[in-house]
Amino acid sequence: MAAELLRENFQVQGRNYDKAGEISSEIKVILKDLGIDAACLRRVVIVAFEAEMNVVMYADRGTLTLVLTDRDISLEVKDEGPGIPDIELAMKEGYSTASDEMREMGFGFGMGLSNMKKNSDEFCLESEVGRGTSVFARIRIDSHA
């Protein structure tokens, strides 16, 4: 069993594009201060940022939980959004349901979920239409992919 060293919960505010990404920036500072390896840190903050942007773009609110153990860093993101009807399709690079507003923000080009998966050692996406989506990602501290 890995020893839990840190657990932080963050509230993600949906539709607030000005604040979008603040939590991921904060996570970057927290993990950098703890001396987490740069390559690992990069993977974690990319996953966090893409997940945070998805909550901001699609949901009214969500939560992001960061857990650091002596072996890995995990991120759990849960939102109260519309849910994803076809997860396989949503995971396909290039597939997007983004609005013009989202694209104007520089997001919604159908790469977010695949980026998150690519940067995780373990990735799980669950969703229920009308209820919301939850994402779990684990990144090993010794990973340099």
Residue numbers of the site for other proteins (CB under 8 A)? 17-18, 20-21, 24-25, 28, 38, 42, 45-46, 49-50, 104-107, 109, 111-112, 114-115, 118
Provide, rounded to whole angstroms, the least separation between the CB of residue 81 and other proteins: 18
108 near 12, Cβ under 8 Å? no
Pick from 83, 72, 33, 77: nearest CA to 53:
77
CB-nearer residue toward other proteins: 65 or 115: 115
Nearer to other proteins, 32 or 131 (CB): 32
Quote the radius of gyration of the chain (alpha carbons, Å): 15
Instruction: Considering the complex, state which of residue 4 and residue 37 has its C-beta at the smaller distance from other proteins.
Output: 37
Cα distances from 136 to residues 21, 107, 119, in angstroms, run: 18, 21, 12
The least distance separating other proteins from the CB of residue 1, rounded to whole angstroms, comes to: 31
Q: Shortest distance, CB of residue 11 to other proteins, whole angstroms? A: 18
b/e code 14-39 from CB counts within 10 Å (16+ = b): beeeeebeebbeebbeebeeeebeee
Q: How far is the CB of 131 from other proteins (least distance, A)?
A: 25
Nearer to other proteins, 111 or 141 (CB): 111
**What is the C-alpha to C-alpha distance for residues 72 and 120, in angstroms, rounded to an integer?**
11
